[in-house]
Each structure stands twice: as structure tokens, then as C-alpha cells.
Amino acid sequence: MSTTTKSNTQLLVDGILKENPIFKLALSMCPAVGISTSVMNGILLGTAVLFVQVFSGCTISLVRNYIHPKIRIPTYTLTIATWVTVIDLVLAAYVPGAYKAMGMFVRLIVAFAIITMRLEMFASREPLTKSFWDGLGMGLGFMVGMVTLGVVRELLGSGELLGYDVLGFKPLLFFVLPSAGFFVVGLMMGFFNWIEVAYNRRKEG
């Protein structure tokens, strides 16, 4: 009973561009504003979201016919919480080095709107393969968004990229402060919209 006509690749690309969680769907803005102060943060949080999104999407897709419609949301939350806990425990046990940097972010994910929203909009209606590709696309889209924000803010705020000194000076400290997150996210949204408009216009004319 698949309702989507998109191909798997289309799902993947849409998640990154046309339906980018941060810039187009405007979901999970708290982490986008709060944590995107450096590229590394973006990569770590992005990776964590990618895994949780894919795993929860697949789980919900598998049991989608058995979920009672009145308790959809608790079921989604439980699924996400379970996967977050599992990933948290596995990371702590087998990659303690990465866990030290990522641990805090992983636990945050339980409350991310983008994951619940994709489960509700997509995974609870579509078969496993489609849900997998949608999760992958959304996860990657989130990661791309976070990294883009991170590049702008880290470069302009602290003159560094991935912790390496690139500019040799700090152009505008303002960019690493929380309020700058709103500005950068807003400008990026505009930029993404502008690209889309320009692209559509060219296609037509």
C-alpha cells in the first residue's frame, strides 16, 4: 500500500535538498541554532541523527500495520528512545573515544521533532525499503544542514574549520553566539529557496 511514487534515489536526494529538514521543513531548529557552532559538532550530531532516523524508520515501517492509531506518538517516542539508548550503550562500550565527544548529543536526539515527524509522515505508511531510503535522505539532509551552518559559523566566528586555524583571525565573534544561529539559519533558508526558485525558472524558460 505504498503511496509514494518516488524512486529510492529520489527519496535520498529530496531529503538532502528539496525537503531538507532544517532549511525546508524547518524542523529540529533547536539543535540547528544551538549546537551548530562548529563543523565537528555538526558531523557528530548529524551522524547520530542519521543512525537513529534510519533505524527508527525501519522499525516503525515493519510494524506499521500493528500500531494502534490512538497511541501512534507514544509508540514513536518509545521506538526512538529505544534506539537512542541502544546506540548510546553500544558507543559507550565499543568506541569510548568517540562517545566522549558524542555522548551528550546522542541523548538529546530523543526529543528531535524531525525524527518523530518522519515516522508519522512517512515510515508509518510506506514499506521497509522506501522508509530506509527516506531515513537515509533525511538523516543526510540534517547532517548537511548542520555542517553547512557549522562551516559558516565556525569560519566567521572563530576563524577556524574543524578546529584548524584557517583565517588566522576571528572576523566576528557574534557568529558563535546562540543568537547568530537564527541569523545564519534564516539566511541559509533564503539561500536554499533562492536556489530552488532559480532552478525552477531555468527549467521553465
Partner 1 sequence: MKEIIKITLALIITCVVAASAMGLTFTLTAKAKKHNHHMNVHNAMMGLLGFGQDNPAPSDLELLSVYRYIVEDSDQKFLGYMVPVEKDGEETYEMVLIDLESNFVKKLEVPISMEAAQEAHDRASALDKVLSPNQSFIYADASVIATAGNKRIGYILPGKFPGFRTFIHVLVAMDPQFELLGLEIMEHEEDAGLGAEIEEDYFKKQFEGISYDKLKTLNVVKKPMPEEYTQYLEREQLTEGLLTKEHIAEIQRKYKDQDIYAITASTISSKAVTNGVKGIAKKFAYRIGKLDSVLEKQKIRAAF
Options 20, 28, 37, 79; binder of partner 1; rule CB under 8 A:
79
Check residue 68 for interaction with partner 1 (CB under 8 A): yes
Residue closest to 173 by CA, chosen among 185, 158, 152: 158
Q: At what angle do helices 128-158 and 39-62 cross, to 10 degrees?
A: 170
Check residue 71 for interaction with partner 1 (CB under 8 A): yes
Per-residue cell: 65: 500495520
Options 78, 98, 177, 198; binder of partner 1; rule CB under 8 A:
78
Check residue 82 for interaction with partner 1 (CB under 8 A): yes
Options 7, 9, 74, 199; binder of partner 1; rule CB under 8 A:
74
From residue 162, give the alpha-carbon distance in Å to each of 4, 5, 39, 101, 190: 38, 39, 6, 14, 25
The answer to whether the CB of 36 falls within 8 A of the CB of 150 is yes
Q: Between 99 and 142, whose beta carbon lies closer to partner 1?
A: 99
Q: Which stretch binds partner 1 (CB under 8 A): 88-96, 146-154, 160-168, 174-182?
A: 88-96
How would you label 120-129 residue by residue, b for 16+ Cβ within 10 Å and e otherwise?
eebbbbbeee
Residues of this chain that bind partner 1 (CB under 8 A): 66-68, 70-71, 74-75, 78-79, 81-82, 85-86, 89-90, 92-94, 96
